[in-house]
Amino acid sequence: MSEKIPPELSLDALKSGNRDEFTRLVDAYSGPMYRMAMKMLGDGQDAEDVLQNTFLNAFKHIRSFEERSSLSTWLYRIAANEALMMIRKRRPETTMTDTSVEGDEGGEYSPLQFVDWCCLPEDELLSVEARRHLDRAIQRLPEKLRIVFILRDLEDLSIEETRQVLDLSQTAVKTRLLRARLNLREQLSSYYSERIGDRIEKK
Amino acid sequence: MTQSAHCKSLLDSLSEYVDGTLSEELCNEIQRHLSDCQNCSIVVDTLRKTIYLYHAITSEPADVPRDVRERLFHSLKLEDYLQH
């Protein structure tokens, strides 16, 4: 994502309210924004609301877009804020997992599972059931870790872009990313070591 | 450093190590530790695999379902751009 504005889009046309151009913007970016919202919220209806609000807001505020970041980073920023607001709306009381994220960010996080499940065949690692488990594991991450993991590892943003989207320091992005990855590794280790157990039993 | 201090220091630079953004010197140090610490070796391998699996499930193009796209265009008052 080196270019700030993709060559097929004209920022001047977008800023002047050109509907053809805005339609091109929607078609270019609705896919990644919808996927991000789906992974963040795990619910089609909520993801759709986030998608609509993202482009309604983009439409409304495109004139204030200043090219300090790329257009896609700017859209991710709107979408991420919408998704986080949706989560807060859905669950107004603050949960324990969420308040703890801030406090223990720099703290230790020691791995607990040491089963090597890398040897499982690819079709088992990516079976329909395993894919569902991969999605569920993301949903179990505290939202502040979840959003960092989704942007960096699923949407393939750089650390710097993730930092811009979330208004965080590089260090905070790196710490949250590491914690998210280690948390998912633990969850996947529990799941796949059971699969290894199943295979041994069958033999 | 004791063995567990090595494990702890590996944990701190684990993300950068699996992303390949660590300096050569630190990389070599980690590799030396991994060659005689089986648990850390498993953590590194399964962490790499974890990231790989998530990449694999998002490598397909991000499509918006047709009905979701239609409702999106309606909400943006762009319905005249919908191709039937």
More confident residue, A191 or A203: A191
**Which of A77, A100, A94, A101 is CA-nearest to residue A167?**
A77
- Same structural domain for residues A22 and A47? yes
Looking at beta carbons, which residues of chain B come within 8 Å of A111?
11, 39, 43
Q: Could you tell me if residue A182 is inside a domain?
A: yes
Q: Taking 80 as the threshold, does the pLDDT of residue A58 lie above it?
A: yes
The alpha-carbon gap from B1 to the nearest alpha carbon of chain A, in Å, equals: 18
Give yes or no: residues A83 and A149 share one domain: no
With respect to residue A97, please indicate whether it lies within any of the assigned structural domains. Answer: no
Q: Which whole number is the average pLDDT over B52-58?
A: 93
Q: What is the pLDDT of residue A92?
A: 65
Instruction: Give the end-to-end CA distance of chain B in Å, rounded to a whole number.
Output: 68
Q: Which of A90, A114, A142 is the last residue of a domain?
A: A90
- Find the CB nearest A52 among B16, B50, B75: B75
Q: What ipTM score was computed for the predicted complex, to two decimals?
A: 0.92
DSSP A144: H
In chain B, residues with a C-beta closer than 8 Å to the C-beta of A118 are 45-46, 49
Mean pLDDT of chain B: 91
Tens of pLDDT along A109-143? 788 899 999 999 999 999 999 999 999 999 999 99
* pLDDT band with cut points at 50, 70 and 90 for residue B62: confident
pLDDT of residue A103: 43
What is residue A104's predicted lDDT score, i.e. its pLDDT? 44
**Do the beta carbons of residue A142 and residue A97 sit within 8 Å?**
yes
Q: Which residue of A has its CA nearest to B79?
A: A23
- Name the residue among B47, B51, B56 with its Cβ closest to that of A126: B56
Q: In terms of residue numbers, what domain contains A119?
A: 103-202
Q: Of A108, A179, A193, nearest to B7 (Cα)?
A: A108
Q: Which amino acid is at A77?
A: R
> How far is the C-alpha of A181 from the C-alpha of A178, rounded, in Å?
5
Residue A120 DSSP code:
S
**In A141-169, which positions are buried (b, 16+ CB within 10 angstroms) versus exposed (e)?**
bbbbbbbbbbbbbbbebebebbbbbbebe
Residue A77 has pLDDT above 50, yes or no: yes
